[in-house]
Chains A and B, each alone.
Chain A
Amino acid sequence: MNNAASAFQEFRAGVFALAPLLVGVIPFGMIYGALALANGLSPAAALAMSSILFAGSAQFLFCQLLGVGAPATVIIAEVGLLNLRHALYSAALAPRIAHLPRHWKLALAYLLTDEAFAAISQRESAGEAGSQRHWFYLGAGLALWGGWQLSTAAGVMLGARLPAHWSLDFALPLTFIAIVAPLIRNRAMLATAAVSGGVALLAAGFPFKLGLLAAALAGIAAGWWVAEARR
């Protein structure tokens, strides 16, 4: 098979691998659009953020922090910590795309999200990756990007008219449950989840959602401690 044909097949496979995740992403994007307006962002800023930040949970956090009047430094620090998990995805992807030209690396880095990475790791663990696998990454990344922009726009347009009894905001915890559950494969990861969740509850009253930061750091420390103790 020639390269162009297999590139296209890989791209299409990437789009299809991501498609099921859009069931969560679309309501998530819509509720983000509505939340952004409710917290004082202009429609233009709400839409721009989906391209500039392109990270659902961080965009939620940004809006919530804006709504409670958090200073810019706090917003940037918390978004940075929340998105630090993408460094792991970057590390996993790095050796597989090391041979690609720079524009590919920049594009794939920009498109690297929880959802795209989940689709990629599922595929790689099934051992189906070939020499054109970067087209799969691009397909998955762009499918998510398109779905995110469209659903965000829908949320901005519908805004406060979205019926609350649809509970669209429940898409956020559901998506993350689906992403996290397969990652909990050992005791150290279980400790991370338990401590992070526990501290998140205890520290829920912290100003500017700083409890989120405390919970994530405590969870990381707990996982590391359990992993070291068993070594």
Chain B
Amino acid sequence: MSIWWTMLACGMVTFVIRLSFIAAEGRLTFPRWFRTLLPFVPVAALTALVIPELLMPQGALWLSLNNARLVAGLVAIAIAVQTRSVLWTLVGGFTMLALLNGGVPPLTIADSLNPHVLR
């Protein structure tokens, strides 16, 4: 049961964050420092998720052109900067990864979902 309570609490926190400024508009103002820091939050949070996925695909730093996720990720970054298109970024990144992984024998996803193997 406690998983459900944790989930509900996470849902409430998320909803309150999403509602915050929408509900407060015209009623209360947020401190200036908060408004100054806010623009950096998406880039900070999302980059912290992305970089280890590219550079530590097996859980340890792997700086090499043999690291298919790193190469495909760099290609995706280049496409995203050039085109600003989500679609082309996804298509380019997935295509690049598939090309680089061409010779890898198929595993079942159960192997890669093992938290000790993946990330």
The interface of chain A, by Cβ under 8 A from chain B, is 20-21, 23-24, 34-35, 38-39, 41, 45, 48-49, 52-55, 57-58, 62, 64, 66-68, 72, 75-76, 79-91, 93-95, 97-98, 105-106, 108-110, 112, 114, 118, 160-165, 167, 169-184, 188-189, 192-193, 196-201, 204, 211-212, 215-220, 223-224, 227
Whether A87 contacts B38 in the complex (CB less than 8 A), given A24-B86, A81-B45, A174-B89, comes out as yes
The answer to whether B6 touches A76 (Cβ under 8 A) is yes
The distance in angstroms between the C-alpha atoms of A108 and B18, with both chains bound, is 9
**How many whole Å from A131's CB to the nearest CB in chain B?**
18
Q: Which 5 A-B pairs have the closest CB atoms?
A: A219-B44, A181-B80, A197-B51, A215-B48, A223-B40
**How many whole Å from A130's CB to the nearest CB in chain B?**
20
- Chain A residue contacts of B14, Cβ below 8 A: 53-55, 58, 79-80, 83, 86
Whether A114 contacts B49 in the complex (CB less than 8 A), given A39-B115, A48-B7, comes out as no
Chain B contact residues, majority secondary structure = helix
- Chain A residue contacts of B118, Cβ below 8 A: 169
- Chain A residue contacts of B91, Cβ below 8 A: 23
- Chain B residue contacts of A62, Cβ below 8 A: 6-7, 10
Whether A34 contacts B81 in the complex (CB less than 8 A), given A21-B86, A66-B3, comes out as no
Among B61-98, those with CB < 8 Å from A are 61, 69, 72-73, 76-77, 80-81, 84-87, 89-91, 93-94, 97-98
